[in-house]
Amino acid sequence: MNAGLLRKLVAAQESGRDVVLATRLGDGFQELVGTAGGGGVMGLAEEAVTEVLRAGESRTVETGEGPVFLRPYVRPPRLIVVGAVHIAQALVPMATVAGFRVTVLDPREGFATPDRFPGAVLAREWPDRAMAVLGLDGRTAVVALTHDPKIDDPALIAALESDAFYVGALGSGKTQAARRERLAEAGFPDADLDRIHGPIGLPIGARSPEEIAVAVLAQVIGALRL
């Protein structure tokens, strides 16, 4: 990598932009590319660049100019936990250890507190305001855990209007059906509502808050990696 390209890479990282270093294997030519407009001089498909950025894993793709090696430089994936409940208390440290940047969102007094979530980023505003500030993107997962439509629904609406790679919500089948009906009345088609994983988590028979947290995190990682 030459000095000019390195400076561009450093500037991208400092500004919080995710980029891909593309190397044409035939002659070693390199350039930095993002999702807007695809792959620059090499003409990489935008879908290939987007997928590498989403997965955060290197891969080689074939182009009209031969094979190109794509190496992503991305921020860690982010998990927004809506609802500072018992499941969240188990989920947050697990997700942090797994490499996620975690934010706990709950406007209720006494829930999202440093003593309950030591070291976590806390957002104590209502989801409609907080989500606008947080800025959801394709490296963001959102899990709604409160069972309270006044809190969960605005968070889910913001998630469905974004490129979040995972959207999940706690609740029984009956709760999920009522939630779908409310969101459908808000204008979301079935294709959008199908993005919501609910009941949330892999079906492993989880019962305790800790077990449910394991099931949720596993499903989030699967959505990111598979």
Would you state the pLDDT for residue 81? 98
What does the pLDDT look like over 4-38, one tens digit per residue?
899 999 998 888 889 999 999 999 999 999 865 45
Residue of higher predicted confidence among 89 and 34? 89
Would you state the pLDDT for residue 37? 47
Phi-psi region of 16 (alpha: psi -120 to 50; beta: other; left: phi over 0): left
186 phi, psi to nearest 5 deg: -80, -5
- Residue pair 203/176 in contact (Cβ under 8 Å)? The answer is no
Would you state the pLDDT for residue 87? 98
Q: Is beta strand 78-82 parallel, antiparallel or unpaired with respect to 66-73?
A: unpaired
Per DSSP, what are the bridge partners of residue 67? 62
pLDDT category of residue 55 using cuts at 50, 70 and 90: confident
What does the pLDDT look like over 107-119, one tens digit per residue?
999 999 999 999 8
Q: Which helix (H) or strand (E) holds 48?
A: helix 46-55
Q: Is beta strand 59-63 parallel, antiparallel or unpaired with respect to 66-73?
A: antiparallel
Q: How many CB atoms lie within 10 A of CB 200?
A: 23
